[in-house]
Amino acid sequence: MPVVDPAITAVLKAEHLSEETRRVYSSKLAIIAQAAGGRPLLKLLTQHADKVVKYITEQYSEVASQKNMIVSVMAVYRLLDLKTKAQVSYDLYLKLFDKLKAILRERSKTNLPSQRQAAGFVTHEELQQVRKRLPVGSKERLLLSFYGGCIPPVRNDLHAAFIHLLKCNEGEARAAFLYLGLQSSDVSLPRAPTVDSSALLGSAQ
């Protein structure tokens, strides 16, 4: 059974941190330890802070990724009460953290995309072209329909969405699609009939 580095063990046992936070911190620290050939993290972080900082800034081009790595390192200092015992190295990490935090703060003011966001940007027209090439009824086409295919292109946070293919009454499904006003070319259904709004809303008089 592999031996877990004491610094990572301290993070994993920090019950005041959420399970997800412990997972993220420990995974970042494991990356640093692996890059250093499995050397003890405490000695590496406190005695070779300049090398750790250089590794992080060279390996991660995104500011947010650098900040996540530094936060994980600084967590070890807080958990093991190293902020005063190894103040020189801690100050080096803190200096980089403050720099990265300032960059992200300015970026949030201008709302400019990151390099990764800019590289992955897809126009609404491109999305439509890809969606129309997908088979009707496929999960992929359905998902892209959510991202501006049938719904106006607004912010749609669907990264955690699941698509469940359930059997349903065909007539009810048809009525639901028509009620939503989807085009027949998208769902292979006839267009919705004209409906007298007064019959639905009632007379206001």
Segment 65-118, tens digit of pLDDT: 999 999 999 999 999 999 888 999 999 999 999 999 999 888 888 877 777 778
Measured distance CA(124)–CA(144) in Å, rounded: 10
User: Mean pLDDT throughout 124-148?
Assistant: 82
Measured distance CA(99)–CA(159) in Å, rounded: 30
Is the separation of the CB atoms in 45 and 7 below 8 Å?
A: yes
Kindly report the pTM of this predicted structure.
Answer: 0.59
Candidates 133, 132, 139, 138; CA nearest to 161 is: 139
Residue 165's pLDDT band, with cuts at 50, 70 and 90, is low
Supply the mean pLDDT for the chain. Answer: 79
Helices and strands of the chain, counted as H and E runs: 12, 0
Tell whether the torsion through CA atoms of 33, 36, 38 and 39 is positive or negative. Answer: negative
The tokens for 144 are 């892209």
Candidates 173, 180, 182, 191; CA nearest to 141 is: 182
Is the separation of the CB atoms in 120 and 62 below 8 Å?
A: no
Is the separation of the CB atoms in 140 and 153 below 8 Å?
A: no
Residue 143's pLDDT band, with cuts at 50, 70 and 90, is confident
Measured distance CA(106)–CA(113) in Å, rounded: 12
